[in-house]
Structure 1
């Protein structure tokens, strides 16, 4: 879904700039986790993703060249050839335990917001070297979700992730 948006792709006050802290396997579910960390604090946001999306992110993090363009490389190349530029990505919503994201593009002076999965948005952000943001409400809602009675393990995992050193994080290894 693509929508014209009057809002500028500049950093909004309700967005927190994040960086990728790590990419690892969840020891319980054996699913990949992207760990985003607030650049100004120790707040982390784990996002579980599919294996193919995690691989696309890992390839870019490790600057591994592939003989043919992968899907996210193709998307970057298409945007470039259409004179568009990805300005930022935002993990914008958490609804029913599912994260949502928006990719903000500019083309010919127009701003376009495109709905995306966070894993795809992050893979594109890495290829464009553009900032990754998370809406403050998403951070708050993810904390509230993790403090619920059924999710005590999620809160423990968040604390564990916040305290991992670089060796423990695995340097983007899966």
Structure 2
């Protein structure tokens, strides 16, 4: 866990730096090329789309929250949210912060009585927690740019997938649910 400086001018803060783009979870679906689950993030104020491939168990945790399905016992992300609440900590935001060797990285921003902390996380865990905490989700501008470059440098299937994702409408997401 990292504890950035308080909200003094010029220090880290959950308000962001302008180098981040707010996104929303557009859907959770099976990649038609790899048949792996992926979370589709969409830029709130633009057209950028970012697919993040996740494991089946992580996809299930997110799907349960998307569908607002109640489970008889708390799932891991519910437990984490409940623990944070018990310690009066608030998840203020999550950020998909880096992309290295085709692996995404995320940071969870926590606030406890003005004490701001960050925690390294897998994007799937950060997104599952963000949904449960009802907090904003951001992606680093550098990650969006790198993901676009990586997609352009790949084979035709990746280019087709990008065009397919960008062309999805609201009705399409419902058809491709897990």
The TM-score bracket by the shorter chain reads over 0.9
Residues 151 and 101 of structure 1, relative CA distance in 2, 3 Å threshold: farther
Cα distance, 1:96 vs structure 2: 0.4
Describe the shift of the 1:171–1:130 C-alpha distance in structure 2 as closer, same or farther (beyond 3 A): farther
Structure-2 separation of matches of 1:172 and 1:88: 27
Deviation at 1:27, TM superposition (A): 1.9
Residue 161 of structure 1: which of 165, 169, 172 is its match? Answer: 165
1:139 maps to which of 136, 144, 149: 144
TM-score where L is the length of structure 1: 0.95
Q: Which runs of 4+ in 1 moved over 4 A?
A: none
Choose 164-173 or 34-43, whichever is displaced more: 164-173
Give the Cα–Cα distance (whole angstroms) in 2 for the partners of residues 155 and 18 of structure 1: 21
1:52 aligns with 2:57: yes
Shift of 1:90: 0.2
Equivalent residue runs for 1:80-91 within 5 Å: 80-91=85-96
What SS is found at the alignment partner of 1:4?
coil
**Deviation digits for residues 72-95 of structure 1 (CA, Å, limit 9, x no counterpart):** 000000000011010000000000
Q: Is the 8 A contact 1:143 1:155 kept in 2?
A: no
Which residue of the other structure, out of 89, 109, 115, is the alignment partner of 1:110? 115
2:13 counterpart residue number = 8
CA distance in 2, matches of 1:172, 1:78: 33
1:86 and 1:62 map into 2 onto residues whose CA distance is 21
**Equivalent residue, structure 2, for 1:173:** 177
5+ residue gaps, structure 1, are none
CA distance in 2, matches of 1:125, 1:65: 17
Task: Compute the RMSD of aligned alpha carbons.
Answer: 1.2
Alpha-carbon distance in 1 for matches of 2:176, 2:84: 27
- CA gap of 1:10–1:172, structure 2 versus 1, over 3 A, is farther
- Please state if 1:152 is matched with 2:156: yes
Instruction: Note the 1:31-110 alignment, pairs <5 A.
Output: 31-110=36-115
